[in-house]
Structure formats: structure tokens, C-alpha cells
Amino acid sequence: MKYTAKKDRYKKNNFRRCGNSGLDLPLITLGLWKHFGGKGLKNESKKIIFRAFDRGVTHFDLANNYGIPFGTAEINFGKLLSTELKKYRNELVISTKAGYDMWPGPYGNWSSKKYLISSLDQSLSKLKLDYVDIFYSHRFDPNTPLEETADALSLSVKQGKALYVGVSSYSSRNTIRMNKLLLERGVKCLIHQPSYSMINRWVEYDLLKTLSKLGIGCIAFSPLAQGMLSNKYTNIIPKNSRANDNTSLKKQMINKSYKNKIINLDLIAKKRNQSVTQMALSWVLRKREITSALIGVRNVKQLDECLDSLNNLNFTTSELKNIDKYAKEQNINLWAASSKH
């Protein structure tokens, strides 16, 4: 597929500054966790990436283990980065992470320096890049000294393999510790990547305040609660849906209390001329601490609908009050173990 990016891609200027850094990120970022792995990119997945960039999405989020088998999302995206997207490299912010199970043995999981550095080297080779823009510690490791993880992150910057570093799913307490350790090593923690959505609000307890105080940006992953914040599940579980895969989104999560929330949130969204999916994204972005909402999509139609949420980012006090009646915890935070420490 020959590709030339649209000339008007920055017309809307939908960017927000990442903490107190010099880096702007798009309000919506595309994540390549699902739908971008396997043996080569599907045609639709390629279209999603090009469409996203055409609409001003400059940030693409990966991890060493994205795709089935693990790592294939980086391989597939690397092929695009070395061909159709090559001339746009300076316009792109590419992130990757390490911290979950990647290869066998003691050096292919968690957060030792040995694992993080060799994983980053592997990611760079798969992505066919000299450097990534952001390298993350994917989760907190209770059995590795945080100093060692900080050493690995700072080394990645000093070696020029990453421009910035961040953490994902760290508690407020461990974010403060990591920030201090990184500063002692002459590196700043750019960004935190936590899960956050209308039905998973743990970051509001203390993390967002901490990030704001430390000048660290925040990119909220799974802002659609893996697709639960849509009205696709109110009657059935559609065949082409994440809940039907029954992997990270278990069918049991589609229960009565969840459906009741969605039906009511959908009514509020309609009054705003938005779908519940669009309102969910605008809602996450209502907080200035949130730099970007990190979504996943299975087709261009979903992507366009998500990006159109940016047409209405304002909420009245009464709308927010009304939303709060239904935007309550649904016990869906699969990543909670990492932030318990």
C-alpha cells in the first residue's frame, strides 16, 4: 500500500503537554496491544494506523509482548516504520515497555536490569529503530530493588536507546520513589501509564494528585474499559468483540450491575450528542492531569468514532454529577496487583 500522509493532519491541533516536560502528546493515542500482531498486519490494521496519523495521532503505544505470538505487534509495526512511515519518523512518538512475561527463564520477566535492557534491545531490533521515544517499566516488581529498575531506565536514556522513560501501573508511593531515584540518576520520569475509565477510577484516589505535584504526565490506558464502555453488550455478546474472545475481557464481566450503568450513561451521552464511547473518552480527558487517552480499536470506523469525541470535551457541573451516579467501580482492573504495593 502506497501511503502519503494527509497535509491537513495537524489542523485540529489536538495536543496536550506531557507534565512539565517539553513534549506534547495527542489527546488520543493508539495502542497496538490487540489486532496488530500475527503474521503480518491485516489490511484493516494498516488502514487504522494510517488513518490515525492522518487525523493527528502522532503517538503509537507498544510493548515487547504485544501481539500473538508475543512480539509480533512490534515486528509488524517495525515493517511500516521502515517503509511507508519511515519519512515521518520525526513526527512520531513510539513507546514500548518491558515487565511482563516475554521469554523463558529468569531473565525474561519482571524488572531486573538484565531483562529490561535486553528487552529494549530486542524491541529496537523488531521496530527497526535506533531509539524509542518512551521506554516504560511495565509494572512494579516487588522482588527487584527499585534502584535496579531505575538504573535500567536511566541507562536506556544515557545509551540513547530511549529519549524519555515512564512507569505503568505503579502506585502513588512507588511513583514518588521511582521519580526520586531517576532524578538522582539525572533522568526525569516523563509519564505514568495507568488504567483509568468511568468504571475503573483508582487513579483518582491519590495518583493523579501525585503526578500533578511531580510534573509527570499521565496517559490513561483502557479508557473504554476494553470496549465495555460502548452499548455493544447491552443485549448480547457480539461474535466480533473482545468479550467473545473471553481472554482479557471475561464474559462474566458483562453482568447486570454493569449493564445498568451503561444503559444510564448512554442516556446522558445521547443528551450531549455523543455515543457512550465518545463520552467515556471526553470524560477521561476532562481532567487536566490526563495528557492522553490510550485506546485500542479493531477497525477504522471505531477509530473515527473515538477521534470524534474530541469535538465535545466540555462537561457541565450537572452532567458530571449525573455521570457520577453511574460511573462507579466495576471490579475490572486486571492490573491492580501492580499498584497494590
Ligand X SMILES: NC(=O)c1ccc[n+]([C@@H]2O[C@H](COP(=O)([O-])OP(=O)(O)OC[C@H]3O[C@@H](n4cnc5c(N)ncnc54)[C@H](OP(=O)(O)O)[C@@H]3O)[C@@H](O)[C@H]2O)c1
Output 154 or 277, the one with its CB closest to ligand X. Answer: 277
CB atoms within 10 A of CB 38: 15
Listed ranges 1-9, 253-261, 264-272, 300-308: which one lies at the site for ligand X (CB under 6 A): 300-308
Binding mask 264-293 for ligand X (x = CB under 6 A): -------------x----------------
Side chain identity, residue 237 = I
Cell numbers that stand for 59 in this block: 503517538
CA atoms within 13 A on the CB side of 170: 30
Note whether 296 binds ligand X by CB under 6 A.
Answer: yes
Q: Which is nearer to ligand X, 71 or 223 (CB)?
A: 223
Angle at CA of residue 39, ends 34 and 43, nearest 5°: 70
161 binds ligand X (CB under 6 A): no
Strand 24-26 vs strand 15-17: parallel, antiparallel, or unpaired?
antiparallel
The residue within the footprint of ligand X, chosen from 48, 269, 295, 323 (CB under 6 A), is: 295
- The residue within the footprint of ligand X, chosen from 76, 200, 222, 282 (CB under 6 A), is 222
Q: Which of 33, 135, 170, 283 binds ligand X (CB under 6 A)?
A: 33
Helices (H), the chain: 43-54, 72-81, 113-127, 146-158, 172-184, 207-214, 242-245, 256-271, 276-285, 300-307, 317-324, 336-339
Stretch that binds ligand X, among 175-183, 209-217, 301-309, 311-319 (CB under 6 A): 301-309
Of 26-34, 123-131, 207-215, 258-266: span binding ligand X (CB under 6 A): 26-34
Taking CB under 6 A as the rule, does residue 223 contact ligand X? yes
Q: What is the DSSP string of 250-302?
A: -GGGS-HHHHHHHHHHHHHHHHTT--HHHHHHHHHHTSTT--EEEE--SSHHH
Binder among 226, 274, 282, 291 for ligand X (CB under 6 A): 226
Q: Which of 118, 230, 282, 333 binds ligand X (CB under 6 A)?
A: 230
Q: Interface with ligand X includes 330 (CB under 6 A)?
A: no
Spatial CB neighbours of 267, under 8 Å, sequence gap ≥ 6 = none
In the list 76, 96, 149, 168, the residue contacting ligand X (rule: CB under 6 A) is 168
Phi, psi of 30 (to 5 degrees): -100, 125
CA–CA dist 116, 136 (Å, integer): 9
- Give CA–CA dist 168/97, Å, rounded: 9
Q: Does 339 bind ligand X (CB under 6 A)?
A: no
50 to 69: interface string for ligand X, x by CB under 6 A:
-----------x--------
Q: How many CB atoms lie within 10 A of CB 23?
A: 18
Site membership for ligand X, residue 193 (CB under 6 A): yes
What is the DSSP-derived secondary structure letter of residue 312? -
Smaller CB separation from ligand X, 240 or 314: 240
- 171 in contact with ligand X (CB under 6 A): no
Binding positions for ligand X, rule: CB under 6 A: 31-34, 61, 138, 168-169, 193, 221-227, 230, 232, 241-242, 277, 294-298, 302, 305-306, 335
